[in-house]
Amino acid sequence: MTTVFVAGSIKIKRLDPRFVDRIKNIVSDSLAVVVGDATGADTSIQAELTKLDAQNVTVYCSGDEPRNNVGNWKVRPIHSSAEPGTRAYFTAKDKAMAADADFGLMLWDAASAGTLSNVLELVAGGKKCVVFVNKEKTFVNVKEPKDLDNLVAFMSSGARAQAEKKIGLSKRLSQLANPQFGLEL
């Protein structure tokens, strides 16, 4: 069964109707959904899935119990050796969702390093992702590393600086564009 990783920026609480339409298509096509347990977009996505009576949903969480599970769906706990509450601790579940999904649907505020990191993980795994850039009200298809340039062009210089600090954006983009140079000799 095809699995979709649906996620978004923690600062986005309201889902744009065009993004909701994509979720409706996923549910009507009976695709499996993996979603995180964070507040913000994850919880709003869960609420929408509940309204649509989605059945095949798995909530991923770091640790034993999800912070949010609106539809009381099955839970996949991801355990990490990272310090609880840190970026690395929560990134472990995001990486697991990207690995388990066949493609992604992301809701991005053009700033969130976490959501951008999810897109990078999907692309690194050879998976396609559709990103709804919330502030521009537009979808960006990311199928291969070169498509990432179109996506990061929406970022302000401040957001890009934060992504450099938080996820090493330039290095990750370079590794995806030139995988042979990412190998350690």
Residues 123 and 98: beta-carbon distance below 8 Å = no
**Distances from the Cα of 22 to the Cα of 28, 79, 92, 145, angstroms:** 10, 30, 26, 23
- Which CATH fold would you assign to the domain 3-179? Rossmann fold (3.40.50)
Q: Where are the beta strands (DSSP E) in the chain?
A: 3-8, 32-35, 57-62, 74-78, 103-108, 128-133, 138-142
Torsional sign, CA 115, 132, 141, 45: positive
Q: Which two tokens stand for residue 74?
A: 């099955």
Contacts of 19 by beta carbon, 8 Å cutoff, 6+ apart: 105, 107, 132, 134
The C-alpha atoms of residue 144 and residue 95 are separated, in whole angstroms, by 18
Per-residue tens of pLDDT for the chain, all 185 residues: 899 999 999 999 999 999 999 999 999 999 999 999 999 999 999 999 999 999 999 999 998 999 999 999 999 999 989 998 888 898 999 999 999 999 999 999 999 999 999 999 999 999 999 999 999 999 999 999 999 999 999 999 999 999 999 999 999 999 999 877 545 54
pLDDT of residue 181: 59
- Find the DSSP H helices in 52-179: 87-100, 113-124, 147-152, 157-167, 169-177
Q: Which two tokens stand for residue 119?
A: 């897109």
Three-state DSSP state, 5? strand
The full set of domain ranges for the chain reads: 3-179
Q: What is the dihedral of CA 76, 117, 124, 183, to 10 degrees?
A: -110
